[in-house]
A = this chain, B = another copy of it.
Amino acid sequence: MAEEKKKSADPAVLQLLAKCESCEGLPTTMWDRYDAMQPQCRFGELGVCCTLCFQGPCRINPTGKEPVRGICGATDYTIVSRNLLRRIAAGTAAHSDHGRHIAHTLHALIEGETDAYSIKSEDKLKAVAKKVGITAEGKDTMQLAKEVVDLALEDFARQDENVPLTWLKTILTPERMEILERCDVVPYNIDAMVTETMHRTTMGVDADPVPLIFNGVKCAMADLAGEAISTDLSDILFGVPKMVVTQTNLGVLKEDQINLAMHGHNPVLSEVIADMADEMVDEAKAVGATGINLVGVCCTGNELLSRRGIPLATNFASQEAVLMTGAVDAMIVDYQCVMPSLGMWAQCYHTQLISTSNLCRQAGDVHIEFNPKTAKEDAKRIIGLAIEAYKNRKETDIEIPDYRETIVVGFSLEQIEEILRTQSDDPYQYIVDQLKEGKIKGFAAMAGCNNLKTCQDESHLTLAREFLKNDIMVLATGCAAGALVRGGFTSSKATQEMASEGLKEFLTTLGKGMGLEDALPPVWHMGSCVDNSRIQFFMTTLANKMGVDIKDLPIVASAPEDMSEKATAIGTWLVASGWPVHVGIFPFIHGSPLVVQVAELTARDVYGGFFIFETDPNEAARRLSNIIKHRRWKLGIDADEEIVYPTGETAADFFEETEPQKANTANGGK
Residues of A within 8 A of B (CB): 28, 30, 33-34, 36-37, 40-41, 43-45, 49, 51-59, 66-67, 69-75, 78, 83, 86, 89-94, 96-97, 100, 104, 153, 156-159, 161, 189-192, 194-208, 210-211, 335-342, 344, 358-363, 365, 451-453, 562-567, 585-588
Contacts of A336 in B (CB 8 A): 202-205
Q: Are B359 and A205 in contact (CB under 8 A)?
A: yes
Given contacts A41-B43, A94-B198, A156-B159, 13 further A-B contacts (CB under 8 A): A36-B67, A52-B565, A72-B340, A78-B340, A86-B86, A92-B198, A93-B199, A97-B195, A157-B159, A194-B194, A204-B338, A204-B340, A211-B361
CA distance A196 to B363 in the complex (A): 20
Of B33, B44, B54, B358, the contact of A69 (CB 8 Å cutoff): B33
Q: List 13 A-B contacts (CB under 8 A).
A: A30-B72, A33-B70, A40-B56, A54-B453, A54-B585, A71-B452, A92-B195, A94-B199, A156-B192, A191-B192, A202-B565, A203-B336, A203-B563
- Which 8 pairs across A and B sit closest by C-beta, in order of nearness? A73-B341, A44-B57, A93-B198, A208-B361, A191-B191, A207-B340, A204-B337, A73-B340
CA distance A28 to B75 in the complex (A): 13
Q: Are B72 and A202 in contact (CB under 8 A)?
A: no
Q: Are A41 and B54 in contact (CB under 8 A)?
A: no
Contacts of A52 in B (CB 8 A): 90, 565
Q: Are B90 and A202 in contact (CB under 8 A)?
A: yes
Contacts of A90 in B (CB 8 A): 52, 198-199, 201-202
For the complex formed by this chain, how many copies does it contain in all? 2
Given A202-B565, A363-B208, the answer on whether A339 and B37 have CB atoms closer than 8 Å is no
Q: Are B41 and A49 in contact (CB under 8 A)?
A: yes
Of B73, B195, B210, B564, the contact of A93 (CB 8 Å cutoff): B195
Given A69-B341, A362-B208, the answer on whether A34 and B49 have CB atoms closer than 8 Å is no
Q: Are A40 and B69 in contact (CB under 8 A)?
A: no
CA distance A90 to B563 in the complex (A): 23
Contacts of A59 in B (CB 8 A): 37, 41
Q: Are B208 and A71 in contact (CB under 8 A)?
A: no
CA distance A446 to B319 in the complex (A): 49
CA distance A34 to B670 in the complex (A): 53
Of B33, B71, B157, the contact of A157 (CB 8 Å cutoff): B157
**Distance of A216 from chain B, by nearest CB (Å):** 13
CA distance A363 to B196 in the complex (A): 20
Given A40-B58, A54-B453, A57-B40, the answer on whether A362 and B207 have CB atoms closer than 8 Å is yes
Contacts of A56 in B (CB 8 A): 37, 40, 44
* Most B CB within 10 A of own CB, among A158, A159, A189, A199: A199
**Distance of A28 from chain B, by nearest CB (Å):** 7
Contacts of A73 in B (CB 8 A): 28, 30, 33, 339-342, 344
Of B211, B564, B585, the contact of A203 (CB 8 Å cutoff): B564
Of B57, B71, B208, the contact of A30 (CB 8 Å cutoff): B71
Q: Are B202 and A195 in contact (CB under 8 A)?
A: no
Of B161, B199, B363, the contact of A97 (CB 8 Å cutoff): B199
CA distance A563 to B156 in the complex (A): 31
CA distance A55 to B71 in the complex (A): 28
**Distance of A614 from chain B, by nearest CB (Å):** 15
Q: Are A451 and B204 in contact (CB under 8 A)?
A: no
Q: Are B194 and A37 in contact (CB under 8 A)?
A: no
Q: Are B37 and A70 in contact (CB under 8 A)?
A: yes
Q: Are A94 and B587 in contact (CB under 8 A)?
A: no
Residue of B nearest to A561 (CB): B54
Contacts of A58 in B (CB 8 A): 37, 40
CA distance A28 to B202 in the complex (A): 22
CA distance A97 to B564 in the complex (A): 27
* Most B CB within 10 A of own CB, among A34, A51, A58, A200: A51
**Distance of A223 from chain B, by nearest CB (Å):** 11
Q: Are A199 and B359 in contact (CB under 8 A)?
A: yes
CA distance A367 to B515 in the complex (A): 64
Contacts of A359 in B (CB 8 A): 196, 199-200, 205-206, 211
Of B54, B362, B566, the contact of A202 (CB 8 Å cutoff): B566
Q: Are A194 and B205 in contact (CB under 8 A)?
A: no
CA distance A559 to B653 in the complex (A): 53
**Distance of A265 from chain B, by nearest CB (Å):** 9
Of B78, B205, B588, the contact of A335 (CB 8 Å cutoff): B205
CA distance A83 to B51 in the complex (A): 9
**Distance of A111 from chain B, by nearest CB (Å):** 11
Given A195-B190, A199-B93, A564-B203, the answer on whether A34 and B55 have CB atoms closer than 8 Å is yes
Q: Are B358 and A211 in contact (CB under 8 A)?
A: yes
**Distance of A403 from chain B, by nearest CB (Å):** 25
CA distance A207 to B49 in the complex (A): 24
Contacts of A360 in B (CB 8 A): 200, 204-207
Contacts of A565 in B (CB 8 A): 52-53, 202-203
CA distance A545 to B135 in the complex (A): 56
Q: Are B363 and A207 in contact (CB under 8 A)?
A: yes
Residue of B nearest to A317 (CB): B55
CA distance A651 to B165 in the complex (A): 58
**Distance of A102 from chain B, by nearest CB (Å):** 14
Contacts of A585 in B (CB 8 A): 54
Contacts of A41 in B (CB 8 A): 41, 43, 49, 57, 59
**Distance of A106 from chain B, by nearest CB (Å):** 13
Contacts of A86 in B (CB 8 A): 86
Q: Are B203 and A53 in contact (CB under 8 A)?
A: no
Contacts of A156 in B (CB 8 A): 159, 191-192
Given A34-B71, A54-B587, A189-B191, the answer on whether A94 and B202 have CB atoms closer than 8 Å is yes
Of B69, B157, B208, B452, the contact of A55 (CB 8 Å cutoff): B452
Of B67, B211, B335, the contact of A37 (CB 8 Å cutoff): B67
CA distance A195 to B161 in the complex (A): 18
Residue of B nearest to A159 (CB): B153
**Distance of A345 from chain B, by nearest CB (Å):** 9
CA distance A199 to B90 in the complex (A): 6
Q: Are B93 and A53 in contact (CB under 8 A)?
A: no
CA distance A307 to B664 in the complex (A): 60
Contacts of A195 in B (CB 8 A): 92-93, 96-97, 190-191, 194-195
